A = this chain, B = another copy of it.
Amino acid sequence: MEIIRSNFKINLHKVYQAIEEADFFAIDGEFSGISDGPSVTALTSGFDTPEERYQKLKKHSMDFLLFQFGLCAFKYDHTDSKHITKSFNFYVFPKPFSRSSPDVKFVCQSSSIDFLASQGFDFNKVFCSGIPYLNQEEERQLREQFDEKRSQANGAGALAKCPVTIPEDQRKFIDQVIEKIEDFLQNKEKKSLDLEPCTGFQRKLIYQTLSWKFPKGIHVETLETEKKERHIVISKVDEEERKRREQEKYAKEQEELNDAVGFSRVIHAIANSGKLVVGHNMLLDVMHTIHQFYCPLPADLKEFKEMTTCVFPRLLDTKLMASTQPFKDIINNTSLAELEKRLKETPFDPPKVESAEGFPSYDTASEQLHEAGYDAYITGLCFISMANYLGSLLGPPKMCVSARSKLIEPFFNKLFLMRVMDIPYLNLEGPDLQPKRDHVLHVTFPKEWKTSDLYQLFSAFGNIQISWIDDTSAFVSLSQPEQVQIAVNTSKYAESYRIQTYAEYVGKKQEDKQVKRKWTEDSWKEADRKQPKVSDPCSHTNSFAATGTTGKRNLSPDPGEAGSEDRESEEMSDSELEQIDSCADPFPEGRKKAKKLKRMKKELSLAGTVAESSAMLFEVPDTW
């Protein structure tokens, strides 16, 4: 169901009802851009730490606009053993609510806009008919403005225990107003009196004077003429009528406030339900949703995690799920479109799904990819298929796995980390994996170097993976950690390039950071004590120009692609996995099936020393 500004209010109860009934939701967002940095590849370096990745996305992605939001509510019908869906496609736009409301500026990225345009995206619908919204701070401010206006009207009465001081030059003007009103009050036929337009200051004087001179029996309000001039209208009312009018005005203000909060009300309802929210590669969707409809994102990752689990207590990322065992082995491509297709084939079973009455149904045969409502819908389908597959591995098999099943709990609150080589997900519920990276080198070189030069430099070391940092540096991971010291040693006398180990690099970065802090902050010791391990994840992205970099990279094969191919061959064997598995096996029956489930749980709970090996189970494909 398409929801725009004009049909938002009359359909809001349907949205609320769908949220209330649902077992779980799937969501998806479309944005005006992905990254305002030099290039997506450079901003998603393969060896980002989760903190670095968060800082990069926060810095380089939050100025874009989330302008289409897809919500698909899934409810299981036990009688007919099918899922009933209610799918909504919301167009969202920060139309200024009034002259005094925020005038949001947002960034558009040509490539993203061009991509959406090629997919038939309707920009006119966003800009002409998008539903407005306010974040919590803006809502608070608007509420305060209304309260202030009201208390000004009431308060003027309360204040006016004594006559107001009228400036000399305004006295004649105010006297004339009073005279007019006295005439008006004696004229029994006239119900209301329009004063001449005047300045805001004069209106304030009139309000104050009248509430003192005529505390009862008249109602004073400011209206705008067609020419946008403000003038005061005075009408005769008894106390009851006055109260009625005030209540009417209050109700109208409340409605205006609700209209202004607009689409944020939908997000609040989803959040307040506490139900499972499923998304595909959903980190950016979650960040944008919180940033746009709640509040600016917090300064560090830890706070972001706290905020996110507070807003959305249960999130599940289908891209992470599909990249994890037991799915990893049988799913080659985890991009949403390919995943959806794959999950229609054996060993998967496409779920029985029907759209609720009054809701148009999507046809997955004729793809409508990149319409947020459709993407949310098929994300939900993917989740159901994968969850049911987990059920099928049980003995006896469970045909339908609910959104509350313990089987899917291991996937909760772990968001897929795009293109990070050895950390598959952001763990919202605790510390992140810390792979050792002892097979990784940090290389600096002249800015003329291309990917091929790096391949050539390391040609003696077999398969390598390159992960660009900026124009003059990259991480290079070797297939054998033993090769690392050889590479460092052979580079000792090189003039044009420099190689150091990952550990050396991190150490120097921390040092530089500390020195920098020493010089730039007055109370650097203080600051240092407070945040001993915070590094500056984006400082290295500032030094190069967009055009040059992009051009240069594209002359060579995509390092990301090459990387993921290599990784395939480095995967750990089943037996290796078994050795490090020390958890109790919760599935006593069906040896092979149970093993798969065990591996899945293992992967998602491994940390510390075995994290690196664990991470290798994940495929990190290049598609979004």
Contact = CB atoms under 8 A, between A and B. Distances in A.
Interface of A: 32-33, 36, 39, 65, 93-96, 99-111, 113-114, 116-118, 122-124, 126-128, 138, 141, 145, 167-170, 199-201, 204, 230, 450-453, 455-456, 459-460, 462, 546-548, 550-551, 554-557, 562
A336 to B, nearest CB: 19
Contacts of A118: 128
B110 A103 contact: yes
Contacts of A547: 100-102, 138, 141
B103 A200 contact: no
Contacts of A103: 39, 109-111, 546, 550
A99 B550 CA distance: 8
A95 B127 CA distance: 20
A36 B110 contact: no
B110 A93 contact: yes
Given A96-B114, A114-B127, A199 B459 contact: no
Contacts of A101: 547, 550-551
Contact of A200 (B95, B99, B451): B451
Nearest to A204: B452
A138 B548 CA distance: 10
A455 B199 CA distance: 9
A23 B546 CA distance: 41
Chain A interface main SS type: helix
A103 to B, nearest CB: 5
Contact of A555 (B96, B200, B459, B556): B200
A240 to B, nearest CB: 30
Given A110-B105, A452-B201, A460 B168 contact: yes
Contacts of A204: 452
A138 B546 CA distance: 11
Nearest to A126: B123
Contacts of A114: 93, 95-96, 127
Given A95-B110, A103-B110, A556-B201, A551 B145 contact: yes
Nearest to A94: B110
A200 B36 contact: no
Contact of A108 (B99, B102, B105): B105
Going nearest first, the 7 A-B pairs with the smallest beta carbon separation are A201-B452, A100-B551, A200-B556, A117-B128, A167-B459, A123-B123, A104-B110
B107 A556 contact: no
A587 to B, nearest CB: 40
Contacts of A99: 550, 554
Contacts of A551: 100-101, 141, 145
A594 to B, nearest CB: 38
B199 A557 contact: yes
A551 B102 CA distance: 9
A36 B141 CA distance: 21
A169 B464 CA distance: 13
Nearest to A197: B557
A230 B95 CA distance: 46
A107 B104 contact: no
A569 to B, nearest CB: 16
A117 B132 CA distance: 14
Nearest to A100: B551
B105 A106 contact: no
A554 to B, nearest CB: 5
B167 A100 contact: no
Contacts of A455: 199, 201
A24 B108 CA distance: 35
A113 B32 CA distance: 14
Contacts of A113: 93, 127
Contacts of A111: 96, 103
A494 to B, nearest CB: 16
